[in-house]
Structure 1
Amino acid sequence: MGFVGFRDPDGDLARADFAVVSATEFQSFQITPDVKGRTEGAFAFEIATAVAQRVTLSVTLTDEAGQTSPPVEFSFEAVAVPILRVTPENLTQKGMAGVGEMPTQELEIANAGSGTLAWAALTDAPWLSIAPDAGELAAGESVRVTVKADNTVLSAGRYRALIMVRAPGAENSPQWVRFGLELTPAGGTLLWKASIGPTDSSPALGPDGTIYLFGADQSLYALGPDGQVQWTFKANGAILSASVALAKDRTIYFGADDGNLYALAPDGKEKWRFTADLPIRSSPAIGPDGTLYVGSGSQPSEDAKVYAIQPNGTLKGRPLDVEGGIVSSPAISTNALYVGSLDRRVYAVNLDGFYRQWRFRAGDSLQSSPAIGEDGTIYIGADDGNLYALAPDGKEKWRFQTEDKIVSSPALGSDGTIYVGSLDGRLYAIKPDGQERWHFQTEGPIYSSPAVAADGVIYIGSDDGHLYAVNADGTLRWSVKADGEVRSSPVIGSDGTIYIASRDGNLYAIRGEAGPAQSPWPMFRQNPQRTGAKP
């Protein structure tokens, strides 16, 4: 900015003409001063040049009558002034602590002035990186800078950081950017593992957080939420059933190859045992009145039975005869029980009179345990590789073919999607109409049954030694590697913790991200207590 002094007795100064005497990339110009009626004083003018240089101008004043003043020369130094601009002023990000990689965010740094802007970016947070963190910008240029948080070195919580961008000699320097980061506990983090011996047992979870599962030494283990063994109970035979069932009064029920159904108190003391005709590899189901339902047998040619046993250990009515062993575990609906048999049939049993309502013949033996949908549809897998959907009256609604046996038991998502594993190594997601939604391929056969969390994530084990967490769209979320096959079926606690066993001899507690899904059958045996009963 400059000033021109004048004296005009008539007070009718009209314009000022500025002519270039010497300058680069600069043109002559004219202004109309706002000085009408004034006989003397000064008026201001403002100019800018494209480059830093010495400029010499000549100014001539003209009044309304056309009279002009003698030209007067003057010189000035035009200095380059860079102006720092940084956008945005705030950055926020959310993620999980300890795992995965956070996406980068961007800042734009610009020179809104002239000359060269030399800038540098700094932060007060050691977990925050900036790239590039320095540079030069000519007039009008800008650069995008990436900002990245390292969540692998942080625990869950909220974090704040400041980023300072400075440019010595520039206007608006320094500029500050606030960065906010929120990290939730990371799914897939191993919380602890406990040695119990190689097992395919599927853990059950008590309301107090106690975990129950079978070890390799014919024993039932009860472990606290911290993984410490509270007590063990040794049966008189091998325990090859999938899981215990936990009653509301905290009684623990399970069967063994010695033919006994055991009832234990919460402290591990035996309350009673009921002796069946054959080994018990079926896991018991618990009816609304506390009645226990369990199948017997382990071979296709056996004349097996389904028993109804009262909570005091006495037989309730006559057992139901079945033409093959039962390793499938019963599923209970409002007034019916459904169970698969090695004789290739699904049996429906009326609970009021304890008689057979119907039976459905599949293409091969049934080791899978049924799941029951909201509308009463029964879903069960078979050794012929099909997942069957049966109406409550026993009519087939549809079947879905996989490429190997289905030993896995289906689970249901909150949207009605049916999830099941197959010995072909795939976890399948099937629409309620029987059409495939997607499949997820693992590197080994799947004996494990899926469990569905409230956030839609599906957990399942594989013989390739992994517990997989699969997103609702069929993509991998994360996986945890064990040192042996994982045929156990995961159970999800209310806090999202996942418990699963492996043939490497360990029970694993793994951090999840949500509790069980609100669905009719979100996991093996319907609920963490493994009661096998639809609510």
Structure 2
Amino acid sequence: MDCHVAAPQEIGPFLLNQSLKWSWHHPAGRFHTLTWGTAIDHQMNVYLSAADGLRKFDKDGKQLWEVNVLPANLMNAPAIYQGSVFTSDTGGGVRAVSMQTGKPAWFTNTSKAICQDNGFTMVHEGVVFSAGDCRALNASDGEILWTFEPDVPVWNFLALFPDKETMIFQDMTGKIYRMSLGGQVLWKAGGKEGTWTDGGASLGNGMVFAVNNNHPFYSKEFSGEDTPGTLSAFDMDGHLRWQVTTPRPPNNAPAIGKVAGWPSMSLILPLCHQGWPGASCDVHAYDANTGGLRWVFHGPKQTGNFQAGDAEGVGDRLKSGLRPMCLPNGWSAPTISGDGTVFVGNEMGNLYALRDLDGDGRVFGDNEVSYFDTHGAFSGTATPALAGNMVAAAAGISHGWSENRHELDNPWF
């Protein structure tokens, strides 16, 4: 079962400030481009998607190749599958390039444009799923297999795969769709009509988890950081199992897995209203079986008008034909490692490692919270990637951390 952002077999370093192995930023300047997501292959190579293109690095941070996509912009996290890397861009193009060389395998223009949200290009059983006109493509040659129009638009699109025959996603109101890989709708459930969320769905523990805001964004009931949302759990037939109200807007896809200090499966959900000066940002852990709250981590508040690194480099990015600002989610999507540590990036630039070792319901103190300040906000798709005792995360700059080396390498200080 695809649990989206849990990595149950992989363990990353907890003491992030003592474990930086390498970092990269655009040679024209730290904030010359915007970074969106990472993926790690079986040889520990890291693939980084950025507004201006796709790059591959070896495990020591050496850049191996680069694919430039300008004048379009890359806006999503990459997927790797059977020797190729898959991405989509704002010009409506979906592409596959060789993992080995970066040379193009195919390019298909699926629509006039793909929105400048940040989602995930996903591949399953030879089918590529991309937002835009919500199209499914053949992974071998890019041929359009089918198109589907949901009841309302998708946002930060993420396709999930419970088995070999079906896929699941949610639209921007939190409604869940389960479809066959051939494009047939099997069921729809949940959601809040008229609302919008940056959040997404996740799979795990035999259930589908969806999030939505409880009030329309421009309604009089919407009060910013303290506007409640809803976390819902459905069984695989679309029947509601449980539902809880969140105190702040749920703004990313949850992660499902075992977390340190707690039995059975937990669900990790970031909560925050981004772009709101002074707004608080929390991470909640829920019992995946019942929705009961297990622990809370209180993250930093947005301290200025913009999130970390977003105002820097605006002129350079405009001159280069890139989107000028990220305006990211309050948190990246989270990752749960094999030892139960939660890795998640915050809008103010910190990458956190979190664990509730004593099970007291709050994550606090040096043995439960570790962080590294990247000085750049994390987008919603900047899910920390884990493999071989290494965590790779894309903020304003790309980083790789490893337990195997502890000398600091921080070229921008």
Using the size of structure 1 for normalisation, the TM-score is 0.51
**What amino acid is the match of 1:383?**
M
**Is it true that 1:328 corresponds to 2:119 in the alignment?**
yes
In the alignment, what sits opposite 2:355?
A: 511
**Is it true that 1:461 corresponds to 2:255 in the alignment?**
no
**Is it true that 1:262 corresponds to 2:55 in the alignment?**
yes
In the alignment, what sits opposite 1:449?
A: 253
In the alignment, what sits opposite 1:356?
A: 144
Offset, 1:375: 4.7
| 1:482 corresponds to which of 299, 306, 322 | 299
**Is it true that 1:496 corresponds to 2:340 in the alignment?**
yes
| 1:370 corresponds to which of 149, 154, 159 | 159
**What amino acid is the match of 1:266?**
K
Which of the two has greater strand per residue?
A: 1
Q: 1:524 to 1:477 in 2, by over 3 A?
A: farther
Q: Distance in 2 between matches of 1:266 and 1:284?
A: 17
The answer as to whether partners of 2:5 and 2:255 remain within 8 angstroms in 1 is no
**What amino acid is the match of 1:439?**
Q
Offset, 1:365: 3.8
In the alignment, what sits opposite 1:239?
A: 34
In the alignment, what sits opposite 1:137?
A: none
Offset, 1:246: 0.8
**What amino acid is the match of 2:296?**
S
**What amino acid is the match of 1:335?**
G
Q: 1:400 to 1:487 in 2, by over 3 A?
A: farther
**What amino acid is the match of 1:478?**
W
In the alignment, what sits opposite 1:339?
A: 130
Identify unmatched segments of 5+ residues in structure 1.
1-201, 212-222, 298-302, 514-522
SS at match of 1:462: strand
In the alignment, what sits opposite 1:279?
A: 73
Q: Distance in 2 between matches of 1:384 and 1:443?
A: 18
**What amino acid is the match of 1:272?**
W
Q: Distance in 2 between matches of 1:225 and 1:500?
A: 12
Q: Distance in 1 between matches of 2:385 and 2:129?
A: 17
Q: Distance in 1 between matches of 2:231 and 2:241?
A: 11
> What count of residue pairs does the alignment treat as equivalent?
298
Higher Cα Rg, which structure: 1
1:96-245, aligned counterparts within 5 Å?
209=11, 227-235=18-26, 237-241=32-36, 243-245=37-39
Q: Distance in 2 between matches of 1:436 and 1:528?
A: 32
Offset, 1:458: 0.5
Q: Distance in 2 between matches of 1:511 and 1:439?
A: 24
Q: Distance in 1 between matches of 2:185 and 2:128?
A: 17
**Is it true that 1:309 corresponds to 2:69 in the alignment?**
no
The answer as to whether partners of 1:280 and 1:296 remain within 8 angstroms in 2 is yes
The answer as to whether partners of 1:349 and 1:357 remain within 8 angstroms in 2 is yes
Q: Distance in 1 between matches of 2:252 and 2:266?
A: 16
**What amino acid is the match of 1:333?**
H
SS at match of 2:343: strand
In the alignment, what sits opposite 2:232?
A: 428
In the alignment, what sits opposite 1:381?
A: 170
Offset, 1:230: 2.5
Offset, 1:526: 12
**What amino acid is the match of 2:73?**
P
Q: 1:262 to 1:310 in 2, by over 3 A?
A: same
Q: Distance in 1 between matches of 2:80 and 2:60?
A: 20
1:258-307 Cα shifts (integer Å, max 9, x gaps)? x21111121122111101141111111000x220000111xxxxx42011
Q: 1:308 to 1:375 in 2, by over 3 A?
A: closer
Q: 1:494 to 1:339 in 2, by over 3 A?
A: same
The answer as to whether partners of 2:12 and 2:337 remain within 8 angstroms in 1 is no
The answer as to whether partners of 1:458 and 1:469 remain within 8 angstroms in 2 is yes
SS at match of 1:422: strand
The answer as to whether partners of 2:9 and 2:338 remain within 8 angstroms in 1 is no
The answer as to whether partners of 2:158 and 2:169 remain within 8 angstroms in 1 is yes
Structure number with greater CO (CA < 8 Å, separation at least 6) is 2
The answer as to whether partners of 1:368 and 1:408 remain within 8 angstroms in 2 is no
Provide the alpha-carbon RMSD of the alignment.
3.1
Offset, 1:423: 3.3
1:310-344 Cα shifts (integer Å, max 9, x gaps)? 02110012334333215321221121111222xxx
The answer as to whether partners of 1:367 and 1:381 remain within 8 angstroms in 2 is no
SS at match of 1:409: coil
